[in-house]
Amino acid sequence: MIRAIIKFVLIITTKILYRVKVIGRENIEEGKPYIICPNHMSNWDPPTMVASLKRNDVYILAKEEMFINRFIKWLAVKVHALPVKRGKQDVALLKNCMKVLKENHIVLLFPEGTRNGMKKNGKIQNGAVLMSLMSGAPIVPVGIQAKYKPFISRVKINIGKPMNFSEYKDKKNDKNTLDELSKKVMGEMVRLTNEKI
């Protein structure tokens, strides 16, 4: 109930502030597991993505620093946020994500690892591809086109088609394969971010 109220508030807030336009919602079907990978530009990205997706079973990976504040932690738990220990291998988190995907839910993460990772020429993280190879869940790349200027600029969410890497499932421990597939995901994220919609 609380989660539904929070999502309703996010939908209204983002619509009023940023007149959010969403393309490609049909690429995310009901009752199927997905790993959703948007580009990361602002702290507004996670709530805007949650508000833009029709499904309510979205689990968000969020930096563990967010869970220090009691209220933020309470809010994060209510919206299914999972804490991420950045720069470390987190076996517990991976197990949690596998459980979420096995139950046909959605994992939402930002593979750049930091805001504006593309602009900083940062290396895309391999976590999304690893989860995909381990679970069989496809990756859905997303391009967020936004300046986040309230009442001035419009936010556009460009959802791409699912990328299925099941043919590589036996190579989940091969770093070169993970790097190669992660670059493909990033390439789609860049294309969707730059595509005129």
CATH for 2-194 (3.40.1130.10, 3.30.70.330, 3.40.50.10860, 3.40.50.150): 3.40.1130.10
Digit-coded pLDDT (tens) for 118-131: 555 567 889 999 99
* pTM confidence score: 0.91
pLDDT at 75: 75
Digit-coded pLDDT (tens) for 138-171: 999 999 999 999 999 999 999 999 999 999 999 9
Average pLDDT along the chain: 90
b/e map of 13-52 (b: 16 or more CB within 10 Å)? bbeebbebebbbeebbeeeebbbbbbbbbeebbbbbbbbb
- Cα Rg of the chain, angstroms: 16
Sketch the domain layout of the chain as residue ranges: 2-194
